[in-house]
Each structure stands twice: as structure tokens, then as C-alpha cells.
Chain A
Amino acid sequence: MMDVRKEFETIVKAAEQLGTDASRFLDKRFASIVISGNRVIGLNNVPGLRLIHEPIEHGVKVDIEIDDGAEIPLPVHVCTGYVEKKGYQRIIFNIHVGKRAKVKFVAHCVFPQVEEFTHEAISNVLLEEGAYMEYSDEHYHSDAGTIILKTTTNATVRKNGVYKNEFHLTKTRVGKLDVRMFLTLEDYSVGELVSKVRASKDDEVSINEVVHLNGEAARGLAKTVVVGLDRARVNVVNEAYGNAPHSRAHISCEEITKGSEVVVSTTPILKITNDLAELTHEASIGRVNQKQLETLMAKGLTEDEATDLVIKGLLV
């Protein structure tokens, strides 16, 4: 078993592969938490924000409290890692953003050398009235493709709150991925759920984004961009429920396929229980748009180069 220092270095180094500035985990101006396996090996709080952790079976539970009116000036860095080759990790985040508070999270999940590993993450998020929160979650996996990743987010946004949640797994193999995001929007609140995944070889991806428009004039977006390559299996179901007057939501599912054995399905589900609500969707599955390809090919790129460039853009 590695010592804590070595674990920290391994995890932070892997996070650097995702483009993060690792020095931020040591910079006292940034709130941060570094979790390895079932231990917290780095922690820094800043005024207005408290990260409180406790061990649970196979993992860690972290309560994150942002005080009413607190505006956290710099992103909160959350790094979750696992440095062993086999195992199971369970992480629970309970995030409470106080009234009119403002916070941005940058999360990195790094599993650089796992072989038989299951990671389960559950985030329970509550934004109080007028609160603002962004959560960007990026993953870095080993190339083994044997990881099982289950991530579930339950978020409620009170009146006038704004919540944005992005999940990215675009730079490494996926393994088996199960993303579930459930968002409840109250009066005049705004919420966005975005998932971007690049699945290759035998990767299996399941994404379910659900938006409940429960408050008047609430606005929501559930967006998925998945690139399925080789023999990847991808299933996307995005749902929106218009339950309140003048609420609006849009579902966008864009699935790009390349590979004769890739299987991708996408299902938008829209349901209205209030006739003043408005729901829309757009969904597409297929190769990269021919005009985009030919535009780049007419400048000298090969079809593969053009495809790569278009895909990289979609997954930004």
C-alpha cells in the first residue's frame, strides 16, 4: 500500500492529465479536497465554505456547506482517486448552497491504474433561493476499460437559483458507465445538465438525465453528446417533465457514431402536466455531418483527421 504522500502525488499527477493545475490543491486560496480510496488525504476550507468528511464503508461521505450570501471567489477543487488496481469505492457528496450564495466546483475523478474497480458516486445537491452553483466533473480512467462507474446526482434548485452540472469522460477509456442526473427546478430557477462522453472499444454507456419543471417559469436543459466508436454500446434516455406554468425545457441528444459494430440508441421523453409548460427536443445519431467533413477535407484534411477535429470540438 502506498504512503499518503505517494498517493497524493499519484492522484494529483493524474489530475494534471486532465489539464488541471495541480498546485491548486496546495494553494490555501482554493477550497479543495483530495480523496484516495476511503480516506481524505488533502483538505482546505475557505471562509464561507465548509467541507466536512467522515469515513463510510468503502469510501467517504463529504458534507459541503456554503453559507448564505457567501460568494466563493475561486473554484472549489474536488479530486477523487483510487490508486490500487482492484476494489470498490463509494463517495457521497451532500452539497448545500445557502441563499444567494455562489460557488463553482471543479471535480476530477482519477483512476489511472485500476483493473477491476467499481466507483459509485452519489451527489445530493440543494440550492437555496437565489443560489448559484456550477459543478464540472471530469474523469481520467486507466486504459484497461474494466472500470465500472456509477454516478448519480439528485439536485433541487429553489426559487431563482441557477444550477449547472457537466460530466465529461472524453480523454480515456470509459469501461462501464452509468450516469444518472435528476434535477428538480422550482419557481424561476434555471438548471442545466450536460454529459459528454467518448466511448470506444467495448465500452458501455448509459445516461439518464431527468428535468422536473415543478416551479413557475422554471427553465431546464438536458444535453448529451456521446461519441461512440468501435464496438461501443451507448444508451441515452433524457427526460423532461413540464409540471408548472410557463416553464420550459429543452432536451438535446447528439450521438456521433464511427465504427461498423457500434450500437447507439437515444430516447427523449417529454411529458407535460401543465398546458402552459413548453418542452422541446432535438436528437441525432449518425456519422459526423457530411458537410462539416467535406468543409475540412476541402482544406486538405483526410476524412479521419476531419472526423477527429469535429469530435474534439463536440466534446469540449
Chain B
Amino acid sequence: MLILKDVTYRTLNKEILKTLNMEFLPGTKYVILGTNGAGKSTIGYVIMGLEGYKPSEGRIFLDGRDITDLSVTERAKLGITLMWQEPARFDGITVETYLTLGGRLGVSKSEVQEALEFVGLDPALYLNRMVDKTLSGGERKRVELASLLLLKPRYAILDEPDSGIDLMSLDMINNVINYIAQYGGTPIVITHREEMAYNTEYGYLICAGMILKSGKTQDVIADFRGTCEVCKHPNLPVNGELK
């Protein structure tokens, strides 16, 4: 189980996450829902341990082990990974090299082809394409989803997985999410669109770096509709509290 205990993250000027307590169970699909600027992506970065995103207070535990001070690589080796909203581009690296991590991942070419097909990319056309600016945003995102299929992480944080991908492909993204859950992994979907939440089981509604609601996804969505979608002051607490 992945646990965030009293996690606060602040920059010099601002408190981005405020005493967050979150739990993610194995084999369960989660959503972190909230409007733009709520701090959702920051939660992903803090869990992954990116540079500059160490909690100011609080700890992160994986299966009872404190991983707060572990590096990105160490967390990845324990089974945590992150799919960025805007994945990085790499000059001179082919899709095949990227997906196999230069041969280090130990997956076969047929597995790579299968993963590409799963996300709607024709291997014959994409294996030798560069993971650079010549890929569209949607293509790049699909490559990243294929990477998740090959990595088989225990905890996969998907930051806005649908951004840049056409609406018709929502099923494909949900299939990837379901695949992860089926082998016992935990997909954690970060999104500001409630449609992306439908396929998850539990969720957290985030506003201004705080948890507004947690529980079953349908309850979280209901609060999102009733509170966030009609809110005239998103991420700006009134009198220090969320209304």
C-alpha cells in the first residue's frame, strides 16, 4: 500500500500541498480530481520524488517502508512510475529504444510491438520513429502509455492521460488503466475532467492543495460537480477554508 502521511509541500512563497493524507491500495483504480492549479500534478511529482519536490513536512510510505528520502530511480525500482502530462522528447532515440530503455528493460521486440498495437500505434510505422518533436502530442502520449504496459509498474501515476489524445481514444486509455489494475497494479489517474474518472473506483477531490473529498469515485465526482464546477473562486479558500 502507498501512503502519504501529513504531506505538506511548499515553495518559497506558497504552500502547494497542505497536510495531505492519502492511501492507495494494490489493484485498485484511483482518481485525483480537481480544477487546474489545485496541486494534483504536484502530488504526482512528490510521490515520484522528482528534484525539488521533496515534502516540506510529512512522509511517504510504500508497504510500510518510508520512501520519502529515496531517489526517483529507487522509487521506480520499487514499482512506482509517473507518466507526465507533457512527456519529454528525446532527439535521436527511436520508439523501440525508448520503450526497451536501450535494451535494459528485458522485453522482446514482439512485446514492444504488442504494446504499440494496444495503444493504437502501428509498429511498422512507429518502431523506428524518433521520440522527438516529430511525434504529435497524442502520439507521444500513446508511446508513454505503451511504456506503462511494458514496465508493468505497481503504482502508475498518469497525469492527465487524455490530454492531447482525441476523445475517441478514451476507451484505449481506460483499457491501459484496466490492464494495470488486472495484474494487481494501482493506476492513479490525475485529471480535471470527470469523464476520465468514470473508470476508477476511488478518488480524491483536490482544491488548493487540500483534500476536499475522498471516497468512492461517484461521490467524489458528485462533489466535483456540486462544488468545483460551479465554484467562482477555484483554489482560493474563503476565510482560509474551502467552501
Select A299's contact among B50, B91, B151, beta carbons within 8 Å.
Answer: B151
A297 touches B84 (CB 8 A): no
Which B residues touch A41, using CB under 8 A?
A: none
Task: Give the docked Cα–Cα distance between A295 and B81 (Å).
Answer: 9
Q: Is A270 an interface residue (CB 8 A)?
A: no
Q: Is B102 an interface residue (CB 8 A)?
A: yes
Dominant secondary structure of chain B at its interface with chain A: loop
Q: Is B71 an interface residue (CB 8 A)?
A: yes
Task: Give the docked Cα–Cα distance between A298 and B75 (Å).
Answer: 8
Per-position binary interface string of chain A over residues 300-316, scored 1 when its CB falls under 8 Å from any chain B CB and 0 otherwise? 11110100111011111
Shortest beta-carbon distance from A169 to chain B in Å: 16
Select B102's contact among A312, A314, A316, beta carbons within 8 Å.
Answer: A312
Shortest beta-carbon distance from B89 to chain A in Å: 8
Dominant secondary structure of chain A at its interface with chain B: helix
Shortest beta-carbon distance from B86 to chain A in Å: 9
A316 touches B101 (CB 8 A): no
Q: Is B90 an interface residue (CB 8 A)?
A: yes
Q: Given the known inter-chain contacts A294-B72, A299-B76, A300-B76, please indicate yes or no for A313 contacting B92, CB distance below 8 A.
A: yes
Select A298's contact among B76, B92, B102, B105, beta carbons within 8 Å.
Answer: B76
Q: Across the two chains, which residue of chain A brings its CB closest to B72? A: A297
Q: Across the two chains, which residue of chain A brings its CB closest to B71? A: A297
Task: Give the docked Cα–Cα distance between A290 and B84 (Å).
Answer: 13
Q: Is A148 an interface residue (CB 8 A)?
A: no
Q: Is A291 an interface residue (CB 8 A)?
A: yes
Which A residues touch B73, using CB under 8 A?
A: 297, 300-303
B92 touches A312 (CB 8 A): yes
B81 touches A313 (CB 8 A): no
Q: Across the two chains, which residue of chain A brings its CB closest to B131? A: A313
Which A residues touch B84, using CB under 8 A?
A: 291, 295
Q: Across the two chains, which residue of chain B brings its CB closest to A315? A: B92
Task: Give the docked Cα–Cα distance between A154 and B192 (Å).
Answer: 57
Task: Give the docked Cα–Cα distance between A302 and B80 (Å).
Answer: 14
B residues near A (Cβ < 8 Å) are 48, 50-51, 71-73, 75-77, 80-82, 84, 87-93, 97, 101-102, 104-105, 147, 151
Closest 8 CB pairs of A and B: A313-B92, A316-B92, A313-B93, A297-B72, A300-B76, A295-B88, A292-B88, A291-B88
